């Protein structure tokens, strides 16, 4: 691509960032749309976040993504925060505005678009959500805001699950999040569920574990969605399929959170056929075969 005096810059701030796949998404989109834009990762050391955000504004950077460990910490460095990001308590996208950056959370809208792309409906459904960390908390907000009938929030620490359920239910004005101890999965109603795996168990290189191994649990799942995308076939996914369910990894969530960020930075709408071409580029980069 031609880089000249008109080239706009976007990027990613985090620590570490060397493993990121985000440049594939944004630079592929820029090429497809003939945008004079380049996306690069920025490794931000601990204690340098404020300087990084202010420096990005001073350097006329168009927008930034934010990854661990700064998704919550960055919020106090922003001049505006979107309502959804405020509720979730995490920001992963910064959009340039007057005097600084406005923070958004595109992770959860990205997950929703990813599931829609796979034909997965969550409205009116009963869902099992595994985990009560930051990712699971955000998924709980998504479910509550999208009209899920009930979310059974299973976690090793019941107290943590209860805290997340209380917060989400209160902020969303609902009572649909129902906390449970992970080991009490046998108390779930006798039916099949959509299950969302939102823990780090099974993430590369710890690829041979799932948060639950009992086949009786997986008989309760008609569709399993693992937020992990590396490996592309997690132990959780294998166990879901072994009991006749459909299983998906989280690469499309990565795709769509990036696409939504790109749309915000450039005030455009990316058509679905273009999104799927970017997805193929991601899979090729990661050597994933369907």
- Assign residue 17 the CATH number of its domain: 3.40.50.10860
Residue 131 sits in the same domain as residue 172: yes
Instruction: Answer whether residue 57 is part of any domain.
Output: yes
Residue 89 sits in the same domain as residue 179: no
Q: Domain holding 188: CATH number?
A: 3.40.50.720
- Are 120 and 223 in contact by the 8 Å Cβ rule? The answer is yes
pLDDT value of position 228 = 95
Cα separation of 55 and 200, whole Å? 32
Domain containing residue 29: 8-105+252-286
Identify the segments of the chain with pLDDT beneath 50. none
Instruction: Answer whether residue 2 is part of any domain.
Output: no
Q: Give the position of tokens 């779930």.
A: 188
pLDDT value of position 204 = 87
Residue 75 sits in the same domain as residue 164: no
Cα separation of 268 and 37, whole Å? 14
Paired sense of beta strands 93-97 and 150-155, if any: unpaired
Instruction: Answer whether residue 22 is part of any domain.
Output: yes
Half-sphere exposure of 131 (CA within 13 A, CB side): 21
pLDDT value of position 290 = 66
Instruction: Answer whether residue 1 is part of any domain.
Output: no
Residue 188 sits in the same domain as residue 117: yes
Instruction: Answer whether residue 91 is part of any domain.
Output: yes
Dump pLDDT digits (tens) for 2-16: 899 999 999 999 999
Take residue 159 and report the two structure tokens written for it. 């107290």
Q: Please give the distance of CA 112 from its chain centroid, rounded to a whole number.
A: 9
Cα separation of 27 and 53, whole Å? 22
Take residue 261 and report the two structure tokens written for it. 């960020």
Cα separation of 221 and 78, whole Å? 41
Instruction: Answer whether residue 3 is part of any domain.
Output: no
Is there a catalytic annotation at residue 230? no
Cα separation of 60 and 26, whole Å? 18
Number of domains in the chain: 2
Catalytic residue (one of 71, 87, 102, 230):
71
DSSP conformation class of 269: -
Q: In sequence order, which ranges of 15-157 are alpha helices (DSSP H)?
A: 22-33, 49-58, 83-88, 107-117, 134-145
Q: Whole-model pTM?
A: 0.94
């Amino acid at each position: 691509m031609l880089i000249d005096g008109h080239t706009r810059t976007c990027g990613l701030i985090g620590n570490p960032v060397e493993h990121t796949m985000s440049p594939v998404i944004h630079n592929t989109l820029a090429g497809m749309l003939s945008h004079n834009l380049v996306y690069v990762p920025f490794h931000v050391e601990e204690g340098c976040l404020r300087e990084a955000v202010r420096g990005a504004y001073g350097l006329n950077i168009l927008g930034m993504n934010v990854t661990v460990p700064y998704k919550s910490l960055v919020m106090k460095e922003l001049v505006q925060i979107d309502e959804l990001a405020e509720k979730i308590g995490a920001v992963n996208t910064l959009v340039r505005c007057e005097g600084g950056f406005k923070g958004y959370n595109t992770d959860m809208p990205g997950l929703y678009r990813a599931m829609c792309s796979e034909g997965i409906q969550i409205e009116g459904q009963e869902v099992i959500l595994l985990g009560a960390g930051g990712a699971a908390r955000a998924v709980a907000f998504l479910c509550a805001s999208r009209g899920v009938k009930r979310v059974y929030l299973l976690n090793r620490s019941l107290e943590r699950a209860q805290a997340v359920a209380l917060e989400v239910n209160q902020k969303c004005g609902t009572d649909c999040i129902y906390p449970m101890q992970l080991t009490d999965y046998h108390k779930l109603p006798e039916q099949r569920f959509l299950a969302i795996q939102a823990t780090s168990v099974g993430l590369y290189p710890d690829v041979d574990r799932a948060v639950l191994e009992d086949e009786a649990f997986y008989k309760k799942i008609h569709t399993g969605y693992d937020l992990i995308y590396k490996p592309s076939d997690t132990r959780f996914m294998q166990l879901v399929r072994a009991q006749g369910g459909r299983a998906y990894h989280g690469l499309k969530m990565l795709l769509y959170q990036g696409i939504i960020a790109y749309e915000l930075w450039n005030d455009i709408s990316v058509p679905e056929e273009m999104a799927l071409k970017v997805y193929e580029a991601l899979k090729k980069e990661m050597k994933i075969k369907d």
